[in-house]
Structure 1
């Protein structure tokens, strides 16, 4: 029971950390997103190795990693998918589009449900079917009024869901997998930063040391919640994690509207309401299932 409570607390803390990430990026307005992505990849590897040492997790043996080539290749795929989602997220954070990021994380479970149906042959419950329909209706309402798709939110939500699908085919533990995803992409990130430094086109390398540290700091501030999440998932139920995942976009939503002053007009209110209603139905269904007790046979 105590372990379960600790898991719940760790999960909640990880989602709170993810939720307040927009506050960090306020120190990097109009940042060079390419530099941010490259430096985040490069410094993720030493940070993850340090975290594994602090947590007394054994460092992965290269021979063991190489034996599971399928997981290794899927780690590369997962890393690329995360790059796309994280690129969209970072652009939103540094260009006054925190509300779009919030929407992306709210619709992510809908994309995950759809991928589960198409690729894992999972069956939708009644609440999930309604949630998918409501999400489509909410996005369609925005398109009808604005005349354009909410591309940032859709890219973030869909690619993060694809990242989750790829992770299902990786047999390494969570921390090893995240470390490998960054390690595989590190040579490309290093080449990009080297070219930017030599050609003088790198914003991060040509800035003052405080700004450069903020660029580098994007690695630990985005990976710290992931480590707490990895610790939580071993101690609590997936139902609790699923219910608590809405902490993150909820905090981002509140920051966008009340702190950053982003426009939340009637169209967005109605669109969000469709999606919130669908998520509420799925959450209530998950809660009801978690409280059900198996009947004893007579």
Structure 2
């Protein structure tokens, strides 16, 4: 199970769901610096994984001669950067519910992109689930009178990240290495800017905080590697629905652990979305138990 695309996706989203527990120790963080450190220190981490799996770096350098591959990897890296920025800002500024909603919205984008660009097909139950999810978001839009922009950017950018990977014909780790290399100049620019302005965490003298910033690289990289492997092995519709694990965990953390206010409209909104997820789980369970048509007819 754990070696299947769906099983790997479950592991990825379980880890992602628990990330707010880590970032609670970095309140009001410099998000751009955290993400830039993540890019810088993720490169040697990915390199070690490539060596362990005996994936030659020559394969990556050869792929980087393909302009289309480099461009798609750069786009993927930028979309991931945007999504992580929104997420990290939310969980370090007491907006875990907004992060949860963002990743509840993301499967809708993934499903729509899968249908539009990859010719995936929705079952009846999946179509109902999408409609319920849209209705859930609509409840919040109606109540607050505006779109939840932070959540939309977070969810939409991450869905585009997954979509880009479907068009790159390389293994997951090679794609991630090229992503990181292409956005490294941007990350270095942010780091040097903070050093120049003397606002860098490395100039603060706060050793625990520096360690938390540094460890954010492997902490966020682990689920991303798992996600990239899952995208290779299953379709975006399945990725979309499995991802509901993550925001469900974050929703519970926001309410139970971080004590964020849970208004009636949010209960209704999340309830509609969870109902859609339940329908998909029932459908998937039924499909697994149902015997093949040929055997049933025989």
- Please, what TM-score do these two structures have when normalized by structure 1? 0.87
2:149 to 148, 151, 154: 151
User: Kindly tell me: are residues 240 and 111 of structure 1, through their superposed partners in 2, closer, same or farther at Cα, counting changes over 3 Å?
Assistant: closer
Q: How big is the shift at 1:290?
A: 3.7
What is the CA–CA distance in structure 2 between the aligned matches of 1:165 and 1:238, rounded to whole Å? Answer: 8
Q: Can you list the C-alpha shifts for 1:188-223, whole angstroms capped at 9, x where unaligned? A: 211221122122233454352321221121110011
Q: Does the 8 A contact of 2:191 with 2:200 survive in 1?
A: yes
Matched, 1:194 2:192: yes
Runs of 4+ in 1 over 6 A off after TM superposition: 232-242
What is the CA–CA distance in structure 2 between the aligned matches of 1:212 and 1:223, rounded to whole Å? Answer: 18
1:119 maps to: 117
Matched, 1:65 2:80: no
What is the CA–CA distance in structure 2 between the aligned matches of 1:223 and 1:93, rounded to whole Å? Answer: 17
1:285 maps to: 283
1:295 maps to: 294
Q: Does the 8 A contact of 1:6 with 1:235 survive in 2?
A: no
What is the CA–CA distance in structure 2 between the aligned matches of 1:282 and 1:12, rounded to whole Å? Answer: 15
Q: How big is the shift at 1:31?
A: 0.3
- Please, what TM-score do these two structures have when normalized by structure 2? 0.87
Q: How big is the shift at 1:133?
A: 2.0
Report the count of equivalent residues.
295
1:41 to 39, 42, 47: 39
User: Kindly tell me: are residues 116 and 100 of structure 1, through their superposed partners in 2, closer, same or farther at Cα, counting changes over 3 Å?
Assistant: same
Q: What secondary structure is seen at the aligned counterpart in 2 of 1:61? A: helix
Structure 2 residue ranges without an equivalent (≥5): none
Output the aligned Cα RMSD.
2.7
Matched, 1:211 2:209: yes
Structure 1 residue ranges without an equivalent (≥5): none
11-20 vs 183-192, which moves further: 11-20
User: Kindly tell me: are residues 135 and 188 of structure 1, through their superposed partners in 2, closer, same or farther at Cα, counting changes over 3 Å?
Assistant: same
